[in-house]
Structure 1
Amino acid sequence: MKNIPQVNEKVLELVQTVAKEPAVADALKLIADQTEIAMQEQIELCEIEAPTFHEEKRAASVAERMKRYGLSNVHIDEIGNVIGVRKGSGNGPVLALGAHMDSVFPAGTDVKVRQEGNIYRAPGIGDNCSGLRAILQVLRALEAQKIETVGDIWFVGTVGEEGNGDIRGSKHLCANNKLDGFIAVDSTDVGRVLYGAVGSHRWRLSIDGPGGHSFAEFGKAPSAIHAVCRAGDKVADIQVPADPKTTFTIGTIKGGTTVNTIAAHCEVDVDIRSVSNEELLRVEAEILSAFEGAVKAENARWGVTDETKKLRLTKTQIGNRPGGMRPHDCPVLQAARSAQKVLGIELTNYGMSSTDANAPMSRNIPATCLCSGGKGIGAHTVNEYFVMEHTELGPQLIMLAALSLAGTKNTEPLL
């Protein structure tokens, strides 16, 4: 990687100080010593199916574990997120550690874990049961060593991160609570730190009219397919910046009935992405305008004035993930990268993705996404598997960054 900003030396020194505190050093060792216990917990959580929108059983298990590990303030909010609060000494920041509970697999999928040496096979075993395992490891270690923090640390199992869940749990959490920092935990590569959140808006745009016979109604009935073609021509020429990276595509198109019919219906699904909310909204507005204009143009082409015979456009938003970027001096980014250095983890991916961190980043809350450790292969497929190697590095990284941000008895919070 090139042109990676430097780590602030003062932040690095603070993280080093935190890591040398006896209780913290013991907690880091405990995490390593309990890798087998943690792996068993990852298996148990994986074997509780949790399709997006139906995470209730896994949520109940996560809540019970938080209570068992020492949190008294645990509840499931109105949208289904599990929130466990570990109070600080008072007047400090609020830092959330969040791992999503849902998987992409429908109810009835076989989620029984099969072990082959240090390889564990099951849908969802890595994405994101490894993330849940990591934040629960952090909680156990903090409680076991009675580590006190200045700020509050919230342990959160979020709902609806995947697909049409549209990070609804993270969005709800950030919209309804005062958070000073957020670390999402997703995927497994501990060399990854995200500074950008790729936002995505998705629309299903449907055009409907009376249709008719291609010969008998020619000149009388406007075509839904022709209107979509007019819009597509405009959309194809929309200009977007390379930086901030912004993209768009008409991903699917459906319509018509037979070759000799003026189409009464045509619909497309459109995907728009950017790390800038401003660019995301600008391109979205241009695309929607192109379809609105295309419907008017197709109606005008045939001189249709009767409202009952005109084409009409229906706009349905089917995805809404906000985007955002954090400055490189963001305390969460600096704490995470410093913790990597202290633990001897090489930064191999400093980039952007779409995770639960999108919601806080879009609200300018200091945030990033870190990973659980181990190695996840084949996510979002029924052949997914998880390799249990260096799994301790994920929770060690998360804990060290979190303590530096929340502050300890010997250090001031970075947040």
Structure 2
Amino acid sequence: MLDRHALNYVNGMEQEALELLKELAQIPAPSGKEERRAVFCRDWLAAHGAEGVFIDEALNVVYPVGVEETNPVVVFAAHTDVVFPDEEPLLLAEEDGVIRCPGVGDDTACVTALLTAARYVAEQKIRPQGAGILFVCNSGEEGLGNLKGTRQICKDYEGRIQAFISFDCKLDEFIHRAVGSQRYRLRVRTKGGHSYYAFGEKNAIAELAEIIGRLYEIEVPHGGKTTFNVGMISGGTSVNTIAQEAEALYEFRSDCREDLEIMEKAFCKVMEEAAQREGVQVEYEVVGIRPCAGGGDPERQKMLEHRALWAVYRTLGYFPKPRKASTDCNIPMSLGIPSVCVGSFMGGGAHTRQEYLRADTLKSGLGIALDLVLGYCRDDDGEEVWSLLRPEDEGDSKAEA
């Protein structure tokens, strides 16, 4: 629970956090090209008292607090990349308390909450209790980023991460299960030729279309919710050319590890059969794998979920809706690390150029982030800032959530 000093900070930061959000949202950050946002976040943290902040080889901005050579750590993360390929400033508009900009909610608002919570810890010189804290503005969450940033953090701190908390959804959502996925680039090549004089030669686009049709005939397993999709297709040269080459991006997803394995076998069978066709060269490559949850201690996972749920409840007065999703938490969950994802804003239109958020919800996002962070900290006098109540003391949140 936030004390009066922390509450005053949250209330006093509302306008400054809004200005930070607007400045950050306009900085382009397609996956793999997050350098400008990374530099901005690093410099902003350093300017507000963060010592030792750095950018790692995966373009993560890392601010370690109380992290020693071998002590355990707790990670707080929000991703800097957006789904859009723009490398020029993103267009932002504000009207009647609504801010519109591609990526403004996913995940810029959450990065803003993370940065402002980290600033409070830096300025107040608060120390973690029992474990170091890593504030991470991470790279590579969207699209084909393949969770690059989180993979790097889990590699660099292997065996030391006690909990992983990601900020990457709306305030009324709570992600506690991982949806895994496998993504492929399909490529078909043929001889091709002139559309009139070489008529009858195999067309790479038509051949690819036939493969896609076969993929859409795969019956999904029912161990969990399983889906598939062809998201992009390209190829050919001109209207009067029999296409020599065509490509597509294909994925399947599931919250069940066994279902992913079944889908992989079915996919490989379709591709192997297609490769047997005369006059057609068929290739595919993996472009992304996001694992489902692995083993781990269910009690530790439950305790972290309770910690996050009650932080949201203390700020909003209600429990967020639990759901499954593909987020940065997939990697730590697959390693058995307790992980949850909570939100920092209210808005809509995610992954569209019409994305928006309500400016008056940013303060709640900051409050939740700071509440969670201070749950692992104590002040300079050694007094614990906030203690986690045990579930038996709080009542059963399952029905409420």
| Paired residue total | 379
Q: CA deviation at 1:52?
A: 2.5
Distance (whole Å) between structure 2 residues aligned to residue 214 and residue 51 of structure 1: 38
Structure 2 residue 205 is the aligned partner of structure 1 residue 204:
no
Name the structure 2 match of 1:10. Answer: none
Taking the aligned partners of 1:49 and 1:255, their CA distance within structure 2 comes to: 28
Distance 1:404 1:209, change over 3 A: same
Match of 1:377 among 330, 333, 348: 348
The one of 263, 271, 287 equivalent to 2:267 is 287
Distance 1:402 1:202 in 2: 34
The code of the aligned residue for 1:199 comes to G
- Aligned residue in 2 for 1:339: 311
Residue identity in the other structure for 1:273: R
Comparing 226-235 with 108-117, greater Cα deviation is found at 226-235
| Contact 1:94–1:406 (Cα < 8 Å) also in 2 | no
What is aligned with 2:163? Answer: 181
- What's 1:16 paired with? none
User: With structure 1 as the length reference, what TM-score do the two structures score?
Assistant: 0.77
Separation in structure 2 between the aligned mates of residue 228 and residue 161 of structure 1, nearest angstrom: 29
Aligned partner letter, 1:73: G
Does 2:16 correspond to 1:37?
A: yes
**Alpha carbons of 1:406 and 1:89: their partners in 2 closer, same or farther (altered >3 Å)?**
farther
Deviation of residue 89 (structure 1)?
9.2
Find the aligned partners of 2:73 and 2:120 in 1 and give their Cα distance.
19
Aligned to 1:361, the other structure's residue is in SS state: helix
Q: Is the 8 A contact 1:93 1:406 kept in 2?
A: no
When Rg is computed on C-alpha atoms for both structures, the one with the higher figure is 1
* Aligned residue in 2 for 1:304: none
Unmatched 5+ stretches in structure 2: 390-401
Q: Residue in 1 aligned with 2:132?
A: 152
Farther off after superposition, 247-256 or 364-373: 247-256
Change over 3 Å in CA distance of 1:315–1:146 after alignment to 2: same
Identity of aligned residues (%): 31
Shift of 1:292: 0.6
Tell me, in whole angstroms, the C-alpha distance in 1 between the residues paired with 2:236 and 2:106: 39
Aligned residue number for residue 322 of structure 1: 291
Maintained 8 Å contact 1:225/1:263: yes
Work out whether 1:393 is the aligned partner of 2:360.
no
Q: TM-score, normalised by structure 2?
A: 0.80
Could you tell me how far apart the structure 2 residues matched to 1:34 and 1:190 are?
A: 18
Secondary structure of residue in 2 paired with 1:31 = helix
Aligned counterparts, 1:77-88, within 5 A: 77-87=56-66
Conserved? CA contact 2:103–2:355, under 8 Å: yes
Instruction: Tell me the SS of whatever aligns to 1:128.
Output: helix
Q: CA deviation at 1:334?
A: 1.8
- Seen in structure 2, the aligned counterparts of structure 1 residues 266 and 134 have a Cα distance that, compared at 3 Å, is closer
Greater shift after overlay, 259-268 or 270-279? 259-268
Report the aligned-residue RMSD: 3.6
Instruction: Determine the C-alpha separation between the residues in 1 that align with 2:228 and 2:66.
Output: 44
Which residue of 2 is the match for residue 362 of structure 1?
A: 334
Alignment check: 8 A CA contact 2:193 2:243 kept: yes
Instruction: Name the SS for the 1:324 alignment partner.
Output: coil
1:390 Cα deviation (Å)?
3.3
User: Aligned ranges for residues 206-245 of structure 1 at < 5 Å?
Assistant: 206-210=187-191, 235-245=215-225
- Distance in 1 (CA, whole Å) between partners of 2:239 and 2:104 is 48
Give unpaired runs (5+ residues) of structure 1: 1-18, 300-309
